[in-house]
Structure 1
Amino acid sequence: MSEPVSVSVCMATYNGQAYVEAQLTSILDELTPHDEVIIVDDASSDGTVAAVQALSDPRVRVIRQAANRGYVHTFEAAMLAATNDVLFLADQDDEWVPGRRAALVEAAQEAGVAASNLLLLGTDEPLRSPLTGRPWLLRAATSRHRVRNELRILAGSAPYFGCAMAIRRDLLPLVTPFPDFLTESHDLWIATVANAHGVLRHVEQPTVRRRIHSTNASSEKPRGVRAALRSRWMLMRAWREAQRRVQTA
């Protein structure tokens, strides 16, 4: 009989005291005794670490960074510290939907990288596309539309969010180390690598309720032109780097 699949939840925290306890409660309710939660705290100045430690759950491990490195490097550190079969990414301020573990483990085990839909906490409505205003959803049927998916990423119209992703452990060497030029959008980098390698699976089931508030790391407000152009150039470089890694894997 095969061993059960174990999960590592990888979380980056920074001054997240207000919501981290509710998020961790929703996560721990989904996990098995063999799973783990790796939290890398990015030099918080509030009571985030104390709130986490107050839960006193042996599945939770906290790694404290002495200096603030930003969320991209902090997520990478959490992923590299993980030890289990499937890595889940989790933000500090959302809440998991029951059934998330089973849905993403199945998809990640079969494909390699799973990306699901999400809902807005408080309304259970889907996000709206910043381009069309319509519900912003992933469709299972487009999982392997590699060119189309990448064009959507470059255009800023692909709803890939790290908080709704899972990665099979054997693909970690393709995803990490993150490129030096990656200063944001670690989730789009992971989706780009998975798309280039043909191992991406869209999960239509929502697996997380996203909390929108004034201190979200990713803003809902439109960017200025220069910032948008810098972001597109970074994503183009990410696609080229992903192709290189696939070719040399």
Structure 2
Amino acid sequence: MMFGLLRRAKPVPLAPLLDLHWDGRELRLACTPGALVEVALELDGCHFTSLVPDAQGVARCTFAFAPSGTDTLELLPRAGRDGAALAAGPLRLEFGKAGLVAVSAGWRRSPLAPLAASRLVPFGRDVAAREVAVVVPVHDAPALVERCLAALRGHVDAATRVIVIDDASRDPAIAPLLERAAGFARVLRNEVNRGFTATANRGIAEADRADVVLLNADTEVGPNWLAGLRRAAYAADDVASATAVSDNAGAFSVPELERYNALPDGWTTEHAARAAWHDAGLAYPELPTGNGFCMYLRRDVLDAVGVLDEAAFPQGYGEENDWSQRAAQRGLRHVVAGNVFVRHARSASFGDERRATLGRAGMAVLRERWPRYEDDVARTLYSYERRVLDWRVRRIHADARTEAAPLRRLLWVGAGAPAWRDAEVWNLRANRARNELLHAGKVVAASAWIAHDPEPSYRALWDWLQLHAIEALLVTEARDSVAEILCGLLGVPRLRIAAPFGESAAAALRTAEWLPPARLPSDSR
């Protein structure tokens, strides 16, 4: 009986796949030579990558780290994406362990978990202290501008400056719309149309010493967008820019490149943004350029390489690529903040035909100035980190068919955590000689507590705040505890809520007091 079960558990390849082998890190597939143009790998029911067999019919895929953040995955090879299955059924692979077995009945996929390759802000770096100015060039398209500004109003704090510049719009609806925005934004106007690039440069100058986010007026931001960009930009000293991902932003579209990607049924931008924040991962793929639809520029890099070239790219379409290449010449990198989702209409001011014309003109300049640029794009566009990001978003979308929309993720320290159904309340508690992070009553992470050497425990909490995408810290009174100080450095807001807590997070947060960031006692700011 036991040997019969083992036989049934063996993987059964289907022609033209002859054999497949997993050594714990690399998958090797042997096919009938010439029979397949490509072999697609499906992980947990979602497309991961496509492989081209060599002349001998062999295709290989090396996994630098587990895409799901867990040790096991469900694998199904196919004859091209969405093609016929090349195995009798899904197979289970385990990272670090050789061999494949057939998935047994009742086996359940694990939820997405933090990636082993996550790039975190170095311990103690005060990213929240960086002043940021969001620059929004505007030209017509009032409905989209109104949507953009409404989202900004709801998702920036009082410390963030918003600079809106009207580039001589002709639509009469723009002026009254921007008048209403003057309550939370600084509104400027070009007397004549100067073009996108000159308008963006004006905003960069108006920002003075602040870091800058270039944000198109046809975008819609969601929760945690600015915190995510800022952390990505300061995760390493050699990062020049960080760009969000989108449903419709060319190479920054997820999960499918260069396409419009519909959101799951019933989802809003807020749902998509929160899902990416929770589960897209922090691997931060790299590209040789950012994208000005939503691009964070560090001020020290602006000082080093200058502003955008408005003479060569007056209407945009190439100006951020050129700036990025100038930064890359100095050994600096441009990262994709995959956990920051921003919706994008695209071509609202120009239309598709005009955008294509401008794109061709801009590319001609880029080819002349940076002859290796397109090769660098091709080399990085399908990096392992990028394939992992796209796959995780596909899984997020697939899971949305059967799971509830994502909720706010809030942290409570100690006993007596609120029990709300409209938020995820995570609990940080001391349990004898260790600190534990709990969600839904289960220990998600733990670290040893050593009274005479607490720093390792503080470092663990610092990592947990990032890896588990905590959105806010709940307190009933300000204590300037270690948890409050670390949250303050990372830009995690602390909210004072009144007890008794009430029946919902929504009610508690409506009346919550936003407290200033906690600082170390020696911090004189």
TM-score tier (shorter): 0.7 to 0.9
Decide which structure has the larger Cα Rg and report it. Answer: 2
Structure 1 segments unaligned to the other structure (5+ residues) = 144-148, 154-159, 243-249
Shift of 1:93: 1.9
The counterpart of 1:112, out of the listed 232, 236, 240, is: 240
**Aligned partner of 1:189: which letter?**
D
Provide closer, same or farther for how the CA distance between residues 195 and 28 of structure 1 changes in structure 2, counting only shifts above 3 A: farther
1:236 aligns to 2:367 (yes or no): yes
- 8 Å contact kept, 2:197–2:310: no
| Map of 1:96 onto structure 2 | 221
Provide closer, same or farther for how the CA distance between residues 235 and 49 of structure 1 changes in structure 2, counting only shifts above 3 A: same
Higher normalized strand content (fraction of residues): 2
The counterpart of 2:336, out of the listed 180, 202, 205, is: 202
Shift of 1:220: 7.3
| Map of 2:309 onto structure 1 | 178
- 8 Å contact kept, 1:100–1:208: yes
Count, aligned residues:
217
Matches within 5 A, 1:121-136: 126=254, 128-130=256-258
Measure the CA separation in 2 of the matches of 1:134 and 1:26: 21
Shift of 1:115: 1.6
**Aligned partner of 1:167: which letter?**
L
Provide closer, same or farther for how the CA distance between residues 89 and 238 of structure 1 changes in structure 2, counting only shifts above 3 A: farther
Deviates more, 1:112-121 or 1:20-29: 112-121
**Aligned partner of 2:216: which letter?**
D
- 8 Å contact kept, 1:86–1:168: yes
| Map of 2:179 onto structure 1 | 53
Structure 2 segments unaligned to the other structure (5+ residues) = 1-123, 262-281, 374-525
Provide closer, same or farther for how the CA distance between residues 38 and 134 of structure 1 changes in structure 2, counting only shifts above 3 A: closer
Provide closer, same or farther for how the CA distance between residues 84 and 218 of structure 1 changes in structure 2, counting only shifts above 3 A: farther
Higher normalized helix content (fraction of residues): 1
Query: % of aligned pairs identical?
Result: 19
1:64 aligns to 2:195 (yes or no): no
Measure the CA separation in 2 of the matches of 1:84 and 1:238: 29
String of CA shifts for 1:4-52, please: whole Å, max 9, x gaps.
Answer: 2221001111113222122112112221212111111111122213202
| TM-score, normalised with respect to structure 2 | 0.37
Measure the CA separation in 1 of the matches of 2:181 and 2:324: 32
**Aligned partner of 1:54: which letter?**
R
Measure the CA separation in 2 of the matches of 1:140 and 1:107: 10
Measure the CA separation in 1 of the matches of 2:193 and 2:260: 37
String of CA shifts for 1:58-90, please: whole Å, max 9, x gaps.
Answer: x41111111111112111211121135321111
- 8 Å contact kept, 1:38–1:62: yes
- 8 Å contact kept, 2:224–2:340: no
1:167 aligns to 2:297 (yes or no): yes
String of CA shifts for 1:155-197, please: whole Å, max 9, x gaps.
Answer: xxxxx42122101112123141525222332232233233333
**Aligned partner of 2:169: which letter?**
S
**Aligned partner of 2:173: which letter?**
G
**Aligned partner of 1:169: which letter?**
R
**Aligned partner of 1:203: which letter?**
A
| Map of 2:205 onto structure 1 | 80
| Map of 1:246 onto structure 2 | none
CA RMSD of aligned residues (A): 3.4
The counterpart of 1:36, out of the listed 138, 147, 161, is: 161
- 8 Å contact kept, 2:229–2:340: no
- 8 Å contact kept, 1:119–1:206: no
Matches within 5 A, 1:125-164: 126=254, 128-130=256-258, 140=283, 142-143=285-286, 149-150=287-288, 160-164=290-294
String of CA shifts for 1:198-235, please: whole Å, max 9, x gaps.
Answer: 2322211243101246x3446378947x973x433211
| Map of 1:7 onto structure 2 | 132
Measure the CA separation in 1 of the matches of 2:359 and 2:147: 33
The counterpart of 1:219, out of the listed 343, 352, 366, is: 352
Deviates more, 1:23-32 or 1:184-193: 184-193
Please state whether the residue corresponding to 1:10 is helix, strand or coil.
Answer: strand
| TM-score, normalised with respect to structure 1 | 0.72
